[in-house]
Structure 1
Amino acid sequence: MTSEMMQDDIEASRLAFREGMSRLAAAINIVTTNGPAGVAGFTASAVCSVTDQPPTLLVCLNRSSSVAKIFETNRVLCVNALTSRHEDLSKLFGGATPQEERFSRGNWTASETGSPVLSDAVVSFDCEVADVVQSGTHHVLFCRVRGVIHGNDNDEALVYFRRRYHHIR
């Protein structure tokens, strides 16, 4: 097998993985932080529960992203699960918009850790980063939950499936 054939196989495998992951529905979140390195936020679907003893979740963050160093320094964050009304906000935090402009939209308050909380999120998890593991291109942040803020029970959640936004109740 030539080097070129191996590269083709690797690329085909990567593309098959990406297509497969597009078929895994995921909640859309805005993950925020505030601390010594400043305020920052990004849109993430790679968030999940780890354990409830102690309450812990994980967040995956691309190491080459513009906000990676800020999260690494601050070591606190808030996961804000979005409602169906937040599609534009999700796009704003997922793009190249400067950080200060991102927070000019939405109603934000400060959590106990100081991280921004979106006041009308489905739920917000205020966290301290307990551990960071590097895997491929990403940091996997293991986060101890310090507080949970429940939103309106009647809101629809914003999810991403097959590269499009959807709303579910």
Structure 2
Amino acid sequence: MRACLPRAAVAGRRRWGTGAAARVVAEAFPHIKCAVLDLPQVVQGLPADGPVDFVAGSMFERVPPADAVMLKWILHDWDDEVCVRILQKCKEAIPSREAGGKVIVVEQVTGSSPEEKSTEMQHFFDVWMMILTGGRERDEQEWCKIFTEAGFSDYKIAATLGLRSVIEVFP
């Protein structure tokens, strides 16, 4: 996280979150300006005084300019085609890799755990996402395909959050 740059945007979770991840980042690194993008009816009434700005909008139309964009538990809600569209909007919002631009994806990477119980849970969550949202959990090859189709050149996976991984995606 110390590699984060002065401007970060966090795309909202389709009416489910209130910027908890952005608050943690902003409080841990006060020099980073964080904004949460979510639908107008979600950000309406959220506190405007604090370390996080709330921006009304849609990640399908425009992501505000930022050095880094974090998508936490968002892409698994969508099919591959929609994920590519979301990531393309994120790519438009960030600078080049040389200038520090990146998208930080917090999602499950199936098959990344050698433990049998973890693999069972990953499959459970995959089925659950298909039933609830029509989305799915993905393995590394599937993530690579989506990142490539969205125009990104490279990615790095850190499997450090139990079933979740942090994926840095570079333009």
Superposition TM-score tier, normalisation by shorter sequence: under 0.3
TM-score, normalised on structure 2?
0.25
More helix by share: 2
Q: Larger Cα Rg: Structure 1 or Structure 2?
A: 1
Whose RCO is larger (CA < 8 A, sep 6+)?
Answer: 1
TM-score, normalised on structure 1?
0.25
